[in-house]
Structure 1
Amino acid sequence: MDASSAELKERENMPNKLRESARRVQEFLSAKGFVFEVQELPGSTRTAKEAADSVGCQVGQIAKSLVFKDKSTGEPVLVVASGANRVDLKKIKAATGLRLGRADGNYVKEKVGFAIGGVPPAGHIRPLPTLLDPDLKRHDTIWAAAGTPFALFQLKPDDLEPLTDGRWVELSE
Structure 2
Amino acid sequence: MSTVATQQLNPEQLWQFSLACYPEVKELCLRWQDKYHANVNVILALCYAERLAWQTNQDNLAAAILEIVPLNSQVTQILRQCRQHIAGLPLDNTQQSQLKQNLLSTELIAEQIEQQLLCRQFTFTKVTTADNLMLYLQQLDLTLTEALSADLIDLRQVSAQIPLGAL
TM-score by length of 2: 0.25
TM-score (norm 1): 0.24
The answer to which structure has the higher strand fraction is 1
Relative to total residues, which structure has the larger helix share, 1 or 2? 2
Specify which structure has the bigger relative contact order, considering alpha-carbon pairs within 8 angstroms and separated by 6 or more residues: 2
